Amino acid sequence: MNYSELSTVMRRLALEAGEKIMQIYNSDDFEVKTKSDASPVTEADEAADALISAGLRAAFPDTALVTEEQAASHDQDVATFLIVDPLDGTKEFVNRRGDFTVNIAYVEDGVPVRGVVYAPAKERLFYTDSVGGSVEETGPFDPDTPGETKPLRVGKPDNSALMVVASKSHRDAATDDYIGKYAVHDMTSAGSSLKFCLVATGEADLYPRLGRTMEWDTAAGHAVLAGAGGRVVRFDDHTPLDYGKAGFANPFFIAYAPGVDLKEG
């Protein structure tokens, strides 16, 4: 894989998809349908998926592609592949809360090594560069011309006063009980893969997820966090979270900055 080309293409497609999403988000009304798993899907999900999928297939025709909105792509047995969630945080989108993202990632031998997370309503853009370091680009964004970037690095956690981020739409008692094992200075809620990015920027130290997620929900944020020096491990045994699992379903996991004294579940 040509990582320089990959970073350029993923960034461009994320921005173009974000523009399409925002056109629908800012319209007076949009249709919301229900998928077979009871999760919502909108015309924005479908339009962004079509744009990103076409762009990735044109640029990287020999690389497997897995996308949330194309069920046929979920039947593959792959370890190296591109993976897309064209609109992560559909509930945030439907409720016009702004915490939704475009996620595109490249997984190599089960490890997400490159990714882009774009939050168009928040005007925040995070991605891994050609050498795997993570950056945040400052807007305004031009799909064809990268702007100024600042390198991302996780913070140095203070285990007596941790900053914790948790899901906005999927918070539950089990998550609160686990967070209660830590000395928490402050806690914030965020939607979609923005939670990974908040750990990557040092705005949070710890993000535990005790709920159902799929690999397309997490791969891009995982790559951004890893490129900033962070880690993502399984909740049950604290081994690295890997990708290309059967059905592309994730176990519970913990994303964190090294130095956090991880607690058992």
State the average pLDDT for the chain: 92
Q: What is the pLDDT of residues 46-100, one digit of tens each?
A: 899 999 999 999 999 999 999 988 878 888 999 999 999 999 987 787 777 888 9
Provide the Cα torsion 122, 128, 129, 130; round to 10°.
-150
Which residue positions form the known binding site?
68, 85, 87-90, 217
Q: What does the alpha-carbon distance between residue 193 and residue 68 come to, in Å, rounded to a whole number?
A: 14
Token digits of residue 90: 């559909």
Cα separation of 65 and 183, whole Å? 41
Start-to-end CA span in the chain (Å): 38
Q: Does residue 105 contact residue 220 with C-beta atoms inside 8 Å?
A: yes
User: Quick one: pLDDT band at residue 31, thresholds 50, 70, 90?
Assistant: low
Q: Give the annotated binding-site residues for substrate.
A: 68, 87-90, 217
Indicate the fold that domain 3-151 takes in CATH.
Fructose-1,6-Bisphosphatase; Chain A, domain 1 (3.30.540)
Assess contact for 152 and 227: CB atoms under 8 A.
yes
- Binding-site residues from annotation for Mg(2+): 68, 85, 87-88, 217
**Amino acid 192: pLDDT:** 79
| Torsion sign, CA atoms 198, 202, 204, 210 | positive
Domain 162-256 has CATH 2.70.150.10: no
What are the residues facing 136 on neighbouring strands?
126, 150
Where does the pLDDT of residue 41 fall: very low under 50, low under 70, confident under 90, or very high at 90 and above? Answer: low
147-to-8, 12, 138, 140, 220 alpha-carbon distances in Å: 12, 12, 7, 8, 20
Predicted local confidence at residue 39, as pLDDT: 59
Count of alpha carbons within 13 angstroms of residue 164, beta-carbon side: 25
Reported confidence tier of residue 183, pLDDT bands at 50, 70, 90: very high
Q: What is the pLDDT of residue 78?
A: 96
Domain ranges (residues) in the chain: 3-151, 162-256
